[in-house]
């Protein structure tokens, strides 16, 4: 795949997606969003890819926010469509059926923080800075920040971040649960690859159904979520991977999962 705003490669069952606008601190515009849609649609369809790693080009920023020049031109009607487009791309990433690991290098502000939150997990470099500064521009988060942030860190902390527009450090983001781990910048991709390797060693369908149970269960009452979990557990038990996994365990050997 050829992109103007992304770098894309795949190896060892991992897709690497890098937003490549370092001169703009990888700011998001509609061209970037549509290329992200294309890339992740392809990743979803490619059975050989089991995990994706998403990051930004350079050492200064994962994504420093939206392209303000583009954003400033919107009116009521076009702005609503603008947010729907962005939300649909982030929803694709969140519900890809394959884990997406955000490697947050440097600034992840506004749409960049929202993009990271749509990923399955977030690994941050020690120099990472995260926040939702939209209210400083007279607008509000529009790519899911008001919805995903409270689910990750709780209502009170989310309100403080959203309403003060404060930028928080990687250490603080880790403390409140916004990022999973903080590592030296030079180890960021390596650590993501270590996590990806562990995921890849497990059954693909079990990974997919686990993600579905968590993502959809978050929007359900506990009783409904438990019913969804039981249903997906039953589906897992009808797979060849379940037969292989249990047989391998009893035979004390590594399982050879096929995603069937």
Alpha-carbon Rg for the chain, nearest whole angstrom, is 19
Q: Are 101 and 123 in contact (CB under 8 A)?
A: yes
Residue 227, token pair as written in the block = 């019913």
Given 9, 114, 181, 240, the catalytic residue: 114
Write the DSSP assignment of 170-200 as a string of letters.
HHHHHHHTSSSEEE-GGGHHHHHHHHHHHHH
Verify whether residue 134 is a known catalytic residue: yes
- Whether residue 56 contacts residue 105, with contact meaning beta carbons closer than 8 Å, is answered with yes
Helix 30-45 × helix 76-94 angle, to 10°: 30
Indicate which residue of 34, 59, 81, 134 is catalytic. Answer: 134
Query: Residue 63 belongs to what H/E stretch?
Result: strand 61-63
In whole angstroms, give the CA distance from residue 131 to residue 249: 44
Cα distance between residue 210 and residue 200, in whole Å: 14
**How many whole angstroms separate alpha carbon 31 and alpha carbon 5?**
8
The rounded distance, in Å, linking the Cα atoms of 88 and 184 is 32
Known catalytic residue: 224?
A: no
Residues belonging to the active site: 114, 134
């Amino acid at each position: 795949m050829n992109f103007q705003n992304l770098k894309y490669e795949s190896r060892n069952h991992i897709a690497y997606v890098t937003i490549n606008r370092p001169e703009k601190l990888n700011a998001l515009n509609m061209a970037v969003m549509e290329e992200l849609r294309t890339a992740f649609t392809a990743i979803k369809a490619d059975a050989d890819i089991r995990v994706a790693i998403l990051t930004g080009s350079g050492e200064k920023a994962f994504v420093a926010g939206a392209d303000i020049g583009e954003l400033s031109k919107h009116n009521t009607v076009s702005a609503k469509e603008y947010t729907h487009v962005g939300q649909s791309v982030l929803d694709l990433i969140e519900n890809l059926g394959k884990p997406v690991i955000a490697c947050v290098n440097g600034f992840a502000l506004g749409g960049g923080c929202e993009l990271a939150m749509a990923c399955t997990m977030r690994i941050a470099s020690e120099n990472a800075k995260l926040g939702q500064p939209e209210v400083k521009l007279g607008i509000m988060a529009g790519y899911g920040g008001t919805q995903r942030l409270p689910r990750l860190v709780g209502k009170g902390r989310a309100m403080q971040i959203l309403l003060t527009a404060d930028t928080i450090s990687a250490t603080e983001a880790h403390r409140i649960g916004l990022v999973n781990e903080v590592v030296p910048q030079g180890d960021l991709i390596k650590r993501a690859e270590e996590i990806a390797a562990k995921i890849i060693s497990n059954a693909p369908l079990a990974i997919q159904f686990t993600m579905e149970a968590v993502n959809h269960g978050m929007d359900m009452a506990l009783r409904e979520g438990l019913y969804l979990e039981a249903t997906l557990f039953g589906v897992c038990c009808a797979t060849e991977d379940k037969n292989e996994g249990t047989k391998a365990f009893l035979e004390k050997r590594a399982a050879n999962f096929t995603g069937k």
